[in-house]
Structure 1
């Protein structure tokens, strides 16, 4: 359930974009009605309507995520606050300038922000944030925890770079393909990384037991 909750804005972004891309008259009418006043020049380009609607929905969904947690009296993770800040800035720029370049940069900015946060904490403050999250579930030797931390740092920087390559090189003229990659490709890469890491760590967990 938490997994679906975390993916809530992404799922809505994908659904709204795909529907709007295949129903452009509907998307253009809705974007003009609700986003026209937020766009420079006040005119919504028909070809950008789907991505603008999807971006607006993702921003609202992220606010709803945080609002739900606050109402329930639950802690809002720092990562979610960072996600909100990035999507508001990048998504807001996408809507205002009616240019999908900004929303395409959003995943990279987010991943690199996570990578920098992990790197600064581990190198300058001697605090392994990955260990802080995972240590309650598994016990590992200190040197292994250090490697796990650096592995996640490298992973976030690599995925951020991969997103730029896919967005502006491979799928430069195909926003629909990039959206599919963002939802399914990057999610699969995350799962693959976690599986490989789990297999790598299994021997250390067994030894600790």
Structure 2
């Protein structure tokens, strides 16, 4: 899915979301590539000890992430012919919180950003579900071929609840970091690998929903079955 939906500085990452039917690998790279750039830059730039070294690594990672998210938008427009609303929203928050992180030299903006992104998408998807509008379909600007409006509504509800859970979890980790009961390094590792793995697993749990509501299966898959 184009998260993106956390990946970012101001908190890494476009936000995780289910991949469209076509160009799945490219959408995954566009969504999670910038987050991986942030992670690697931070790890290789904060080799010293103490808070100053960690903050320096976070600042360098933030700059790299901001550049990477712009590149992701360019690649999306070039290869896919569009930039999805989800990627637009994530990118605006990446650049905004990234600028705050650099200006104030404060890692809290990095940790705070995913909570805001997850909450925004949860409110949008669940609000649309209550109003009988499948917002996930509009955010992705891609159709899972054959999925009915009812199917999109269920997917919007399910992903809205998933984003809400991620938002609560990220806020809890933010509070733990503030209380010095959790390190920024551990948070970043969970953000990059844990959330990515959870998003992938959650996407798999939604496959039966998509199949039940009309998702077209390629002929090659039918033959293999």
Q: TM-score normalised by the shorter chain: which range applies?
A: 0.7 to 0.9
* Inter-partner Cα distance in structure 2 for 1:148 and 1:73: 23
Question: Is 2:112 aligned against 1:105?
Answer: yes
For residue 44 of structure 2, the aligned residue among 19, 37, 56 is: 19
Aligned length: 186
| Structure 2: runs of 5+ lacking an equivalent | 1-24, 216-225
Which has more radius of gyration?
1
* Inter-partner Cα distance in structure 2 for 1:111 and 1:5: 18
TM-score (norm 1): 0.76
For residue 119 of structure 1, the aligned residue among 102, 126, 131 is: 126
Asked whether the equivalents of residues 148 and 213 of structure 2 are also in contact (C-alpha less than 8 Å), the reply is: yes
TM-score (norm 2): 0.71
* Inter-partner Cα distance in structure 1 for 2:203 and 2:80: 30
- Counterpart residue number, 2:98: 91
For residue 195 of structure 2, the aligned residue among 183, 186, 189 is: 186
Q: Which has the higher contact order (CA 8 A, sep 6+)?
A: 2
* Inter-partner Cα distance in structure 2 for 1:88 and 1:145: 30
* Inter-partner Cα distance in structure 2 for 1:140 and 1:164: 34
- Counterpart residue number, 2:145: 137
* Inter-partner Cα distance in structure 2 for 1:65 and 1:146: 28
Label 1:73 to 1:158 Cα distance change in 2 as closer, same or farther (>3 A). Answer: closer
* Inter-partner Cα distance in structure 2 for 1:89 and 1:162: 22
Label 1:66 to 1:202 Cα distance change in 2 as closer, same or farther (>3 A). Answer: closer
Per-residue deviation, residues 85-129 of structure 1 (Å, max 9, x unmatched): 1111211111111111111011111122222222333334x3202
* Inter-partner Cα distance in structure 2 for 1:161 and 1:100: 19
